[in-house]
Amino acid sequence: MSENQDELKVQIKAWLKQQNISRNDFAAECFVSPNTVRNWLAKVAIPKDKEALIRLMMEKTEREKKLKEAARANWKPFVVMLSSEDYKLIEEAARRDNMTVEEWAEATLIKDAQKRMKNYYDDSSLPEDVSLAAEVPEEYGAPRRSGPSSSPPSSARRKPRQ
């Protein structure tokens, strides 16, 4: 086995730990058995095709991490204090839309702000650095469809507070 393979195995172990990926899940991603992964990481050489697949998986993760970091450079933190009851309501709405609470809150806030600015305020009064044409797809904030329970019946929706 080459020194290159030994180095790769060390990188794989570190990557699995960093990404919190179990060896069983990793084996499934590589289309092999968990026993095969155990052997690869212990003593057996990783076949070239599987080595290429693993390197691509690790590179993809690194690219995604760098993209998220670059995007976050322009983000502004936003904190909202909620009662437990209100948080549970938002949590349930997010669950029904197949989103995290953070994704749901972000989507809902952006959609609502755009709607309010369009319907209630004169565009000419906006500061120059504020645009209604935020980089948000039209469907942003819409429920994500994934199953029969993803869309609540209209009678189950809570009316907004006045």
Whether the per-residue pLDDT at 126 is higher than 70: the answer is no
85-105 per-position pLDDT tens digit:
999 999 999 999 888 888 899
**How far apart (Å, rounded) are the C-alpha atoms in residues 82 and 78?**
13
- From-to residues of CATH 1.10.260 in the chain: 3-72
Q: Please check whether the domain covering 3-72 is classified as CATH 1.10.260.
A: yes
pLDDT at res. 141: 47
6-27 per-position pLDDT tens digit:
999 999 999 999 888 999 999 9
pLDDT at res. 24: 94
